Structure 1
């Protein structure tokens, strides 16, 4: 089974990205999707190989122009329903590739 490499991004790669990382991991477990989620700041994320990036709208707009992978923009990092709604179609497409 394919395993996805996912990065959760916030401004400094510490606080809110950890919350987002945990919620993305919950969605992965619930959907039986194999993946490793790490955290990063914007600069590191742009320079790190991955399959998909989860981040805020503000940072996502900056990242989209500097990466070639999908960027999933989340309004509320603790809202697992939003993460599932916006991220699951992207994750499923990547797993099918």
Structure 2
């Protein structure tokens, strides 16, 4: 499974999200290839899941990947709830 963590510029915030997603995935026992990028680059990639916020998700409407929304990239509980709800754990 491939997961893409997306922010506006693909640098700091998406990297923090990636680290937190990887941590939560380990905690719930799911293996995935997790990468981070900017919203423009994400539109041309085809991961299984894209994790981003509501505002950036608007730029990805119609994308074939499943979009998972997270408001706070630093909140591991929110990330865990979003992943469990969408990955079936």
**2:62 aligned with 1:66, yes or no?**
yes
TM-score normalised by length of structure 1: 0.85
Cα deviations by residue, 1:28-47 (Å, 9 ceiling, x for unpaired): 10011010110111111111
Measure the CA separation in 2 of the matches of 1:89 and 1:73. Answer: 11
In the alignment, which of 85, 88, 92 is matched to residue 88 of structure 2? 92
In the alignment, which of 81, 85, 96 is matched to residue 77 of structure 2? 81
User: After the TM superposition, which parts of structure 1 deviate over 4 Å for at least 4 consecutive aligned residues?
Assistant: none
Name the counterpart of 1:44.
41
- Tell me the SS of whatever aligns to 1:60: helix
List runs of 5+ in structure 1 lacking aligned partners: none
List runs of 5+ in structure 2 lacking aligned partners: none
- Tell me the SS of whatever aligns to 2:83: helix
TM-score normalised by length of structure 2: 0.92
Name the counterpart of 1:29.
26
Pairwise CA distance, 1:78: 0.5
- Tell me the SS of whatever aligns to 2:26: helix
- Tell me the SS of whatever aligns to 1:6: strand
